[in-house]
Amino acid sequence: MGKKKSQQPSPSTDDLLKTLGDFTSKENWDSFFTLRGSDDSFEWYAEWPQLRDSLLPLLQQQQQQPSPSSSSSSSSSSLQILVPGCGNSRLSEHLYDAGFKDITNIDFSKVVISDMLRRNVRDQPNMRWRVMDMTQMQFTDDTFNVVLDKGGLDALMEPELGPQLGNQYISEASGLHEALESENRIRGEYLSGSDILYSLEDLQLGAKGDLTKLNPGRRVQLTLGEQGVSRFCYKAVLLDAKQQSGAFSFHYGVFIVPKTRAHEWLFSSEEGQWQVVESSKAARLIMVLLETIHTNADMEDIQKDLSPLVKPLAPADNDKGDQIPFMTASDGIKQRNIIYQGSSSLTGPIVIEDVVYENADGDVNRSLPFRRLIFRRTESLVQSEALLTRDGLFDRSVYETELKKASSSSKIKRSGRQRRNNESSSKMKVYHGYLASSYHTAIISGFSLISSYLESVASAGNRVKAVVIGLGAGLLPMFLHGCMQFMQIEAVELDPTMLNLARDYFGFTEGKYLKVHVADGIQFVRDYRNLSAAGDMPPHESKDASSNEMLLSSNGSCNSSDAESRRKTTVDIVIVDVDSPDSSSGMTCPAADFVEESFLRNVKDTLSEQGLFVINLVSRSPAIKDVVVSRMKEVFSHLFCLQLEGEVNLVLFGLCSDSYIEEDCIPEATLRLEKLLKSKHPEISQSITDAAKKLRCLK
């Protein structure tokens, strides 16, 4: 689970709405921020993941310009940023963590400025907070390079008051008027671009050129259907492949995106849509994005309704007699039996299902079932997946037959119709000695990077401390607990519902050396770092009411050396495996806060000198991957990665030690890891060691 907002008693919606009658009223905003609290940020327009990739390059470009001060000794790298009407947005905090330290935030609400000062005084000590009216600012001319307005001007433009306050604010911020004029010009140009929603008639009249001919790189958004002509109306995107050379599987095709997936980056962003075109191998692809009105319609009915609407969009050299291929994602599920449907206030709707996969040779009777955990907010992803066996026991002959099917691991695309199976699965239980998820195999393979250290700790009779942020179904902690019994594992999970589901449906059990903390993962690491720096033992206590045992205690042996004392107050391995509640950002895992530089530095401070940080990154955007890799290079001494074949997952491994293992020495390190693994199945150990041999050094 990712980091969520603080779980404080929420004010009623009516109370909050009463405070927003007039956006220009200081009293209203004081009341609003008093009710909402300091930890529950209120963002206008967009949050950091949507702003970061566009905003940071602009600020970095501005950073190369002369500073506002006329002094020749001023450093061009010190960009002076003003954020008027800052509210309790986290924008300034993210900018500070990105390296822009000279930020002045102003707001006329004393309540919010006081809250923000308290919230940031420790982690962002150089950030400035001022109670000030943005229409009557008290700065000398040329104080700032950048005025960063995120909703401030909008709040001033109350219809009943007219533009008076807005104009007064603009006159206060030198150069803002010119910037607004420039923005209006850009908007005018943009409105003539490819994101206009065209009708079929517009296109047939030549609004975007001759549609009978393929135009490499053409992308047009359009509407299909109308009342009296079709059952439904549809939003669609026409895409002509950028490269028209080479073999295509289809000259023309239609790709239908279900409503539950239409918001995902892969289908909602232009970059993602081009990836779909490339993978579909179609010269022209019509991507149809289904909406709420299509929810109860059968997919066959949708295709029949669409067929006459998409035929006029076929290029002229397409054989009119050919049937238009309709495509959608498929997860190869033969049988599906939903055993749990519920909801959590933090995670939303949750489904647990038992499935049987399609067998390549058609022998479905030989297939073993798998149990899967799915969050509806990211319905296309399987959060956790476990092998089911009768009474949780292992049958090697059946296992060897079904091993190849296990490659359809978790966190892959899923679609297709739901099929309920009425057969009782009461005797089928999760088997914890098997890794159904290939990315779990990848995570463990990275332990080979510190296998010498693990071996030395284990041989000394001590325990390796591991923190796993994101419990899910508890499968990774349970496997480690069973196969690497020299570990002391602390799992951190924000949602108590997940802990209950892991226990009830996936056989998760806590023990002396496997504990769960129901806590915010970001805060857990921050608290541990602070206590570790002070030399104190972290006082986290189990949230399980049946146990008041102090957790994360020392290993029991007394050693007065500095190195041993340091090891007792640090963690050896930190694993982040959390989903993002906002898949539209382009990053499905982890939540954005877990790849911020501030969190990465806290992790490094928490780790022992030979410590290892592991993060499961799921993103189809090369730009997002590059940003995350760049940040980790800045923080960790050395960085390795493992790209999963056939999947989007990129597992990253950050090392704290200045010394590291050379790539040509990894095979030897994997042998040490294999000896440490006490798996009952050589096949499992072999898959882990095979994955370790694919590790690549990035730094």
User: Quick check: is 136 in a domain?
Assistant: yes
Contact 172, 137 (CB under 8 A): yes
Higher pLDDT, 238 or 623: 238
- Range among 427-431, 559-563, 569-573, 597-601 with highest mean pLDDT value: 597-601
Question: Does the pLDDT of residue 71 top 60, yes or no?
Answer: no
What does the pLDDT look like over 88-105, one tens digit per residue? 888 999 999 888 988 999
Question: Does the pLDDT of residue 290 top 80, yes or no?
Answer: yes
- Enter the pTM of the model: 0.55
252, 180: one domain: no
- Rounded average pLDDT over 70-86: 65
User: Quick check: is 375 in a domain?
Assistant: no
Question: Does the pLDDT of residue 145 top 50, yes or no?
Answer: yes
Q: Say what angle helices 176-190 and 164-172 make with each other, to 10 degrees.
A: 110
Q: Give me the pLDDT at residue 457, please.
A: 92
Residue 519 DSSP symbol: S
Q: Give me the pLDDT at residue 558, please.
A: 38
Higher pLDDT, 658 or 641: 641
Q: Give me the pLDDT at residue 362, please.
A: 42
277, 139: one domain: no
Q: Give me the pLDDT at residue 413, please.
A: 37
User: Quick check: is 34 in a domain?
Assistant: yes
Q: Give me the pLDDT at residue 499, please.
A: 95
203, 93: one domain: no
What does the pLDDT look like over 322-351, one tens digit per residue? 678 888 865 557 788 899 999 988 888 899
User: Quick check: is 345 in a domain?
Assistant: no
Higher pLDDT, 268 or 602: 602
ω before 49 within 30° of 0 (cis)? no
244, 315: one domain: yes
Share of the chain above pLDDT 90, in %: 26
Place 404 in a pLDDT band, splitting at 50, 70 and 90: very low
Contact 661, 414 (CB under 8 A): no
56-65, 195-204, 475-484, 496-505: range with lowest mean pLDDT: 195-204
Question: Does the pLDDT of residue 74 top 60, yes or no?
Answer: no
User: Quick check: is 419 in a domain?
Assistant: no
Q: Give me the pLDDT at residue 201, please.
A: 74
Q: Give me the pLDDT at residue 632, please.
A: 93
Q: What share of the chain is helix, strand, coil (3-state, %, to 5)?
A: 35, 20, 40
Cβ neighbours, 10 Å, residue 511: 9
328, 347, 376: which is the final residue of a domain? 328
Residue 314 phi, psi (nearest 5): -70, 140
Tokens 């877990």, residue located: 594
Q: Give me the pLDDT at residue 538, please.
A: 53
- Rounded average pLDDT over 535-552: 42
Question: Does the pLDDT of residue 575 top 90, yes or no?
Answer: yes
617, 674: one domain: yes
- Rounded average pLDDT over 627-642: 92
451, 523: one domain: yes
Nearest to 38 by CA among 82, 86, 94, 81: 86
580, 611: one domain: yes
Residue 614 DSSP symbol: E
Q: Give me the pLDDT at residue 322, please.
A: 66
Q: Give me the pLDDT at residue 574, please.
A: 96
Place 189 in a pLDDT band, splitting at 50, 70 and 90: very low
267, 293, 328: which is the final residue of a domain? 328
User: Could you give the CA distance from residue 600 to residue 656 in angstroms, rounded to a whole number?
Assistant: 11
465, 581: one domain: yes
Residue 609 DSSP symbol: E
Which tokens hold the place of 94? 């993210």
Higher pLDDT, 39 or 276: 276
In terms of residue numbers, what domain contains 300? 198-328
Q: Give me the pLDDT at residue 21, please.
A: 56
205, 269: one domain: yes
Q: Give me the pLDDT at residue 613, please.
A: 96
Cβ neighbours, 10 Å, residue 177: 12
What does the pLDDT look like over 405-441, one tens digit per residue? 444 433 433 333 343 343 444 578 898 888 888 889 9
Contact 354, 346 (CB under 8 A): no
User: Quick check: is 141 in a domain?
Assistant: yes
Q: Give me the pLDDT at residue 360, please.
A: 39
Residue 358 DSSP symbol: P
Q: Give me the pLDDT at residue 492, please.
A: 95
Q: Give me the pLDDT at residue 172, please.
A: 67
Domain count, the chain: 3
Q: Give me the pLDDT at residue 586, please.
A: 73
Question: Does the pLDDT of residue 86 top 70, yes or no?
Answer: yes
User: Quick check: is 206 in a domain?
Assistant: yes
Which tokens hold the place of 497? 């519902």
Place 547 in a pLDDT band, splitting at 50, 70 and 90: very low
Residue 441 DSSP symbol: H
The C-alpha angle 641, 644, 650, rounded to 5 degrees, equals: 45
Provide the CATH number for the domain around residue 486: 3.40.50.150
Which tokens hold the place of 634? 């800045």
155, 187, 219: which is the final residue of a domain? 187
What does the pLDDT look like over 658-692, one tens digit per residue? 877 777 788 888 888 888 888 877 778 888 888 98
- List CB contacts of 394: < 8 A, sequence separation 6 or more: 431, 433, 434, 680, 681
282, 206: one domain: yes
Place 583 in a pLDDT band, splitting at 50, 70 and 90: low
Tokens 């909402």, residue located: 36
User: Quick check: is 106 in a domain?
Assistant: yes
263, 243: one domain: yes
578, 681: one domain: yes
User: Could you give the CA distance from residue 80 to residue 102 in angstroms, rounded to a whole number?
Assistant: 5
